[in-house]
Amino acid sequence: MTVSLRVSGTVRVPGDKSISHRALLITAIAGGEARVRDILPSADVHATARVLRALGIPVPALTSELVLRSAGLAALRTPTEWLDCGNSGTTTRLMAGVVAGRAGLTGTFVGDASLSRRPMQRIARPLSQMGAEFTFERGDGLPMQVRGAALQGISWRSEHASAQIKSAILLAAVSSGVEATVYEPTRSRDHTERMLSACGATVEVLPDGARVMAGASLRAVDVDVPADPSSAAFFVALAALAHGGELVLPDVCLNPTRTGGFDILQRMGVQLRVDHERVVGGETIGTLVVAPNTLVATSVRGDEVARAIDELPLVACVAARAVGETRITDASELRVKESDRISAVVANLRAIGVDAEELPDGLVVRGSDQPLAGHVITHGDHRLAMAFGILGAVPGNTITIDDPACVDVSFPGFWDTLARATQARAPAGTSTDAASNALRRLIVAIDGPAASGKSSTSQWVAKRLGIRHVDSGAFYRALTALAVRSGLAPEQWTETGVLAEAGRVSLGLTERSVVPLVDGERHEEELRGAAVTAQVSRVAVMPAVRAWVNDRVREAGASTDVVVDGRDIGTTVFPDAPLKIFLIADPWERARRRLVQRLERKPTDSEIAVETEELVARDARDATQSRPDPSAITIDTTSLTQEEQVERIVALAEAVRGRPHPPSTS
């Protein structure tokens, strides 16, 4: 019997990312006290909060109802640290506008490898013309230093329809108290204009742009953040691709500059209606009700592109299941998003078996009903991960995502929400929930004293289970490598200095492991080289560095099934791991194994004795960390071969997963 996909229930997607950014930023510079409800607590919005705090604004934790109290623009001060924007282009460009408009204020903006490649001259040119000063270390990307000034007004005609460029100019004008007019080739999102107006600025909406008048006196206002239409679009597409059922998406922002994706999907045949439409805080919101239907190809071009720029990768994935040829043009802006989305979407569609073609300013997709299978490379782009994740939820398709965790920048909990929204109908007599099985996280935490064989056993267990091994030690090595590159003597290294470069390190997922990427690339030879090996222990003992590495390991466990080994994995990093193992062995046997590995020969008894003394002394120093978590399963490996250790752990892991494991074929 053919498995079908049914959708059901109510899905309240997270708060709108664009409005969440602006709710924090504009409330902060307006001054006073305001409540912000239902803010999106994503990585990108956390980046805006982090940058505001660094500039002197006491932004509270991003809870469902936060109260922000600020002295306004007067509270801004030159930060003592870099302004780390993570992966958020909105944070970078909008905050650069605010800094540019404040004389005496200087800030250096940095971000992850993906953000560092995105073009920033497009905001630097108009803001420099207004009087601010920009310095770039590497051409057009980050790091970028912005030196504020008393700006002069501007009338700017932008080459790009970009809400970020427009907002940077308008916010710089408000920050400096001058007039600014921005003209665009097509209309972009207008959330900044709406919120500035709500806070007391005089904003004029033009047929082809916007103008903010000089001398705005802002006041903070409460903000109710509606559900993000870009996030809702993924579940509109899911319902469209299903074979039955209905999804209800409440409180979705229906700002006309944001609904282009819905219009395109409806044109392709999606059954979508809007209930309970109303205006809240200047934004139109409503409840979307979506049901499956036969999909047909379409063309997307011209002004429609700007209104659907974030949804176009999703449209391309839906087109893979539509009848006919879908053509997207006039979309060259996609090449300078979190990734080159044109190239990445086409490459990934081809990788899973779709007939797709890249155009200079867009792409062509020819739909079919053939099963799709393959591995998707997201380049850290959250929208690619979610778009292909929706396509992968269709029964018959077998699609894996290299970096599922990257969705957290806009939609924390996306994979769990997808699991709840889908139901897999299996043959009679079975009760398979395909989505839940596919998305369930297995974390095997393996601890133990020094030389207990944690690392090699963990790698073998991960291979046998068909999941990934997290090399936590490699993240210490990545930070050490950056410290070595700095040229400072190791004696001068500090926690603050080491962690200042941490934004350059990100998670990379290979077929069988989670590894650190430095500036988006693997540097295995450098990380295992003598210079790093000689100094990594110096870095690893820094408490703040250990906390940072632990956070990266947690991110890995949130994104994919993993086997993780370390000294405090089961007690500190993953205290709720479904399976915790603590390996022990007689000190003599541990010493013998270590020497065999090190010497590549049979060690003498005297050599083993010396090594045993060193291990016993180390055990005494590490007594706290050497104790197993109370819920851990202790395995004495003294008389076990490594294969026997692996078999025992794999059997326990498969019991947790609820299915028998196949015997080893090695």
> Are residues 220 and 230 located together in one domain of the fold?
no
Least confident residue range of 53-67, 415-429, 629-643: 415-429
Strands 223-224 and 32-37 come out as parallel
Of 648, 646, 649, 651, nearest to 666 by C-alpha is 646
Taking the C-alpha atoms of residue 512 and residue 491, their distance in angstroms, rounded to an integer, is 36
Tens-digit pLDDT profile for residues 207-228: 899 999 999 889 999 999 999 9
Domain hosting 91: range is 17-224
Whether 543 is covered by a domain: the verdict is no
pLDDT for the residue numbered 3 = 58
Taking the C-alpha atoms of residue 336 and residue 353, their distance in angstroms, rounded to an integer, is 26
Whether 548 is covered by a domain: the verdict is no
Answer with the residue of higher pLDDT: 522 or 183.
183
Whether 556 is covered by a domain: the verdict is no
In the predicted structure, residue 578 carries a pLDDT above the cut 90: no
Taking the C-alpha atoms of residue 173 and residue 196, their distance in angstroms, rounded to an integer, is 12
Whether 405 is covered by a domain: the verdict is yes
pLDDT for the residue numbered 435 = 35
pLDDT for the residue numbered 666 = 37
Is 376 strand, coil or helix?
strand
Whether 132 is covered by a domain: the verdict is yes
pLDDT for the residue numbered 626 = 52
> Are residues 309 and 426 located together in one domain of the fold?
yes
Q: Are 290 and 270 in contact, with CB atoms under 8 Å apart?
A: yes
Residues contacting 135, CB < 8 A, separation 6+? 144, 145, 147
The CATH number assigned to the domain holding 365 equals 3.65.10.10
Q: Are 78 and 121 in contact, with CB atoms under 8 Å apart?
A: no
> Are residues 194 and 270 located together in one domain of the fold?
no
Q: Are 581 and 442 in contact, with CB atoms under 8 Å apart?
A: no
Answer with the residue of higher pLDDT: 185 or 614.
185
pLDDT for the residue numbered 559 = 66
> Are residues 520 and 502 located together in one domain of the fold?
yes
DSSP letter string, 414-456: HHHHHHHHEEEEPSTT----HHHHHH---EEEEE-STTSSHHH
Element (H, E) at 357: strand 355-359
Residues contacting 158, CB < 8 A, separation 6+? 122, 126, 165, 166, 182, 183, 184, 185
How many Cα atoms sit within 13 Å of 629 on the Cβ side? 23
Taking the C-alpha atoms of residue 395 and residue 273, their distance in angstroms, rounded to an integer, is 26
Q: What is the total count of domains within the chain?
A: 4
> Are residues 276 and 130 located together in one domain of the fold?
no
Tens-digit pLDDT profile for residues 249-272: 999 999 998 999 999 999 999 999
The last residue of one of the domains, among 207, 224, 241, is 224
Tens-digit pLDDT profile for residues 129-165: 999 999 998 889 999 999 999 999 999 999 988 999 9
> Are residues 456 and 571 located together in one domain of the fold?
yes
Integer CA distances (angstroms), 361 to 145, 165, 297, 325, 367, in order: 31, 20, 18, 17, 20
- In this prediction the pTM is 0.61
In the predicted structure, residue 181 carries a pLDDT above the cut 90: yes
pLDDT for the residue numbered 298 = 97
Q: Are 312 and 265 in contact, with CB atoms under 8 Å apart?
A: no
In the residue annotation, 222 being an active-site residue is answered as no
Residues contacting 474, CB < 8 A, separation 6+? 515, 516, 527
Strands 562-565 and 443-447 come out as parallel
> Which residues does residue 373 pair with via DSSP β-bridges, in sequence order?
398
The last residue of one of the domains, among 175, 204, 224, is 224
Count CB atoms within 10 A of the CB of residue 137. 12
Out of 84, 112, 251, 310, pick the active-site residue: 310
Answer with the residue of higher pLDDT: 512 or 157.
157
> Are residues 181 and 256 located together in one domain of the fold?
no
The end-to-end CA distance of the chain, in Å, is 35
In the predicted structure, residue 437 carries a pLDDT above the cut 70: no
**Mean pLDDT, the chain, as a whole number?**
88
Structure tokens given for 64:
């469902």
Taking the C-alpha atoms of residue 547 and residue 552, their distance in angstroms, rounded to an integer, is 9
Structure tokens given for 53:
């705090």
> Are residues 524 and 407 located together in one domain of the fold?
no
Taking the C-alpha atoms of residue 163 and residue 182, their distance in angstroms, rounded to an integer, is 10
Taking the C-alpha atoms of residue 181 and residue 158, their distance in angstroms, rounded to an integer, is 10
Whether 335 is covered by a domain: the verdict is yes
Whether 648 is covered by a domain: the verdict is yes
> Are residues 456 and 587 located together in one domain of the fold?
yes
In the predicted structure, residue 520 carries a pLDDT above the cut 80: no
pLDDT for the residue numbered 432 = 30
Dihedral sign, Cα of residue 610, residue 616, residue 622, residue 626: positive
Taking the C-alpha atoms of residue 81 and residue 284, their distance in angstroms, rounded to an integer, is 39
Taking the C-alpha atoms of residue 543 and residue 92, their distance in angstroms, rounded to an integer, is 29
Integer CA distances (angstroms), 249 to 98, 236, 279, 490, 610, in order: 35, 9, 17, 55, 67
pLDDT for the residue numbered 151 = 98
> Are residues 505 and 428 located together in one domain of the fold?
no
- Show the beta-strand stretches assigned E in 102-198: 106-110, 133-136, 144-147, 154-157, 180-183
Crossing angle of helices 17-30 and 163-176, rounded to 10° = 10
> Are residues 393 and 451 located together in one domain of the fold?
no
* Residue carrying structure tokens 């077929």: 511
The last residue of one of the domains, among 157, 190, 224, is 224
Whether 546 is covered by a domain: the verdict is no
Structure tokens given for 148:
């504020």
Count CB atoms within 10 A of the CB of residue 466. 10
Element (H, E) at 591: helix 587-599
DSSP letter string, 316-337: HHHHTTSBSEEEE-S-GGGGGS
Count CB atoms within 10 A of the CB of residue 202. 14
In the predicted structure, residue 362 carries a pLDDT above the cut 90: yes
> Are residues 241 and 213 located together in one domain of the fold?
no
Most confident of 3-17, 277-291, 339-353: 339-353
Residues contacting 457, CB < 8 A, separation 6+? 446, 565, 583, 642, 645, 646, 649
Query: Taking residues 16-45, what's their average pLDDT?
Result: 93
Dihedral (Cα; 88, 89, 90, 93), 10-degree rounding: 130
pLDDT for the residue numbered 24 = 97
The CATH number assigned to the domain holding 638 equals 3.40.50.300
